[in-house]
Amino acid sequence: MTTRRAYMDWNADTPLSPAAREAMCAVWDKGALNPSSAHAGGQAARAIVEDARQSLAGNLGCAAHEIVFTAGGTEADNMAVRGAPVQRYIVSFMEHPAVVRPAKASGRPVSFLDVDAQGVADLQALERALREQGGKALVCLMFASNETGALQPVRQAARIAHEHGALILCDAVQGAGKADIDFNALGVDMLAISAHKFGGPQGVGALIIREGVGLEPLILGGGQERRRRAGTENVAGIAAMAAALESALEGRAQKESAIRDLRDELESRLQAICPQVTIFSQAAPRMANTTFFAHPGMDAATALMAFDLDGVSLSAGSACHSGKAEVSRALVAMGVDRELARRALRVSLGPDNTEDDIRLFLRSWQAQVERMSANAA
Ligand code: PLP
């Protein structure tokens, strides 16, 4: 039994950063109260929330008043999709269920946007979908895939969407903190982020909404967030999210380059040990931290368990609900054989990973491949 563990599931969750912890504790130590209260304690809490909003706006290229705080990425996506003043949706095949499910549940028509074999959205198909069908559309295109890491052509899609009078939502949950996200430069109408993907706490996120987009609120109640999202603000969580983003972006380029080096080493050794491995979206522009791969003879659940026993935490590509494995919709849309897609595993790295983690992963992988060959002989 090993004592060392290598955490390689940063697209699922990230450890709370020291900056975020400090910001949260500072709020609790101060005893921040309800930011809507008129008394001094309430006003102190209001100042914390507004400082965080300013800091996030500076780091995300938007105006502070365009930020609406939510209870995470799922709520931000739901709010954008359900509240958008549109008649239909054009949703990329790579999108997260937090976008796909509310679109389907809305009762409005949903068409899916094709991706190429590398998992990158097809802009000609977008243009066709916008031209050939009537009714104002919301285009949903994520910044980067949570599964393959493939970066999406968001800026170009925004231009095309606007040429056809459509709105566009960018789910940047997997981009914020790892890439430079600039709301204005991307030119989108709405953009979702989630704190726990960049060193902040779980259950806090934001939706940036361009001034003038008449979004219906999802949650009704008090008049918080300029009547766009009711509910007393999560003051400590919001402060921690702003601190986490600031900290994640410090030396971002160097962090990214170190992570890319580790990822590239992992991929080349992974395939050297076993050349039958397929790495999905390997030829696409990709987030530096993500490797999504499969071996035709390796069962994903068995591999996941073996890695876990060897001290390596990663994810399987197929979600298992009620004992039934659901194959990644993104991989199927990329034309990957369903049997191979079922075997997909995801490694996602972060700034804390080291060469030792890569060695631990590779040792486990080598042992698993040897066991598989021995069983087959
Ligand atoms: N969108 C993407 C692309 C994600 O990867 C996730 C979480 O994995 C979400 C949305 C949901 O975010 P949250 O966990 O904050 O609800």
Query: Running DSSP on this structure, what letter comes out for residue 176?
Result: B
Residue predicted with more confidence, 4 or 216: 216
Per-residue pLDDT band at 322 (split at 50, 70, 90): very low
> What is the 100 CA–ligand 1 centroid distance (Å)?
12
pLDDT for 58 beyond 60? yes
pLDDT at 133: 86
Q: Return the ligand 1 atom nearest residue 95 CA.
A: 3
Point out the catalytic residue in the list 62, 140, 170, 320.
320
SS3 144: strand
Distances (CA, A) of 179 to 89, 249, 265, 288: 27, 8, 21, 9
Summarize pLDDT for 284-293 with one digit per residue, the tens: 999 999 999 9
Closest to 99 in 3D by CA, of 71, 70, 118, 75: 75
Residue nearest to atom 4 of ligand 1 (CA): 173
Cβ burial, residue 31 (10 Å; 0-12/13-18/19+): exposed
Per-residue pLDDT band at 249 (split at 50, 70, 90): very high
Going from the N-terminus, what domains does the chain have, and what CATH number goes with each? 18-249 (3.40.640.10), 251-376 (3.90.1150.10)
Q: Return the ligand 1 atom nearest residue 77 CA.
A: 10
For residue 122, the one-letter residue type is D
Residue predicted with more confidence, 330 or 320: 330
> What is the 48 CA–ligand 1 centroid distance (Å)?
25
Radius of gyration of the chain (CA): 21
Distance CA 31, CA 226 (A): 24
Sign of CA dihedral 291, 292, 298, 301: positive
Q: Confirm or reject: Cβ of 191 under 6 Å from ligand 1.
A: no
> What is the 134 CA–ligand 1 centroid distance (Å)?
30
Distances (CA, A) of 229 to 138, 150, 232, 270: 20, 31, 9, 46
Distance CA 44, CA 228 (A): 22
Tokens standing for residue 96: 């997260």
Summarize pLDDT for 13-23 with one digit per residue, the tens: 999 999 999 99
Closest to 299 in 3D by CA, of 375, 372, 358: 372
pLDDT at 324: 53
Tokens standing for residue 176: 């914020």
Summarize pLDDT for 72-116 with one digit per residue, the tens: 999 999 999 999 999 999 999 999 999 999 999 999 999 999 999
Active site residue 274: no
Summarize pLDDT for 258-274 with one digit per residue, the tens: 999 999 999 999 999 99
> What is the 65 CA–ligand 1 centroid distance (Å)?
23
Per-residue pLDDT band at 319 (split at 50, 70, 90): low
> What is the 30 CA–ligand 1 centroid distance (Å)?
31
Probe ligand 1: pick from 141, 170, 173, max atoms within 8 Å of CB?
Answer: 173
pLDDT for 142 beyond 70? yes
With the CA atoms of 8, 266, 251 and 52 taken in that order, what torsion angle do they form, in degrees rounded to the nearest 10? -20
Per-residue pLDDT band at 325 (split at 50, 70, 90): low
pLDDT for 156 beyond 90? yes
Q: Confirm or reject: Cβ of 96 under 6 Å from ligand 1.
A: yes
pLDDT for 318 beyond 70? no
The rounded percent of the chain whose pLDDT value lies above 70 is: 97
Q: Confirm or reject: Cβ of 348 under 6 Å from ligand 1.
A: no
Q: Confirm or reject: Cβ of 98 under 6 Å from ligand 1.
A: yes
pLDDT at 321: 47
Distance CA 377, CA 297 (A): 13
Residue nearest to atom 14 of ligand 1 (CA): 73
pLDDT for 376 beyond 90? no
Evaluate whether 330 touches 115 at the Cβ level (below 8 Å).
Answer: yes
SS3 65: helix
Distance CA 320, CA 285 (A): 29
The rounded percent of the chain whose pLDDT value lies above 90 is: 93
Q: How many CB atoms lie within 10 A of CB 180?
A: 14
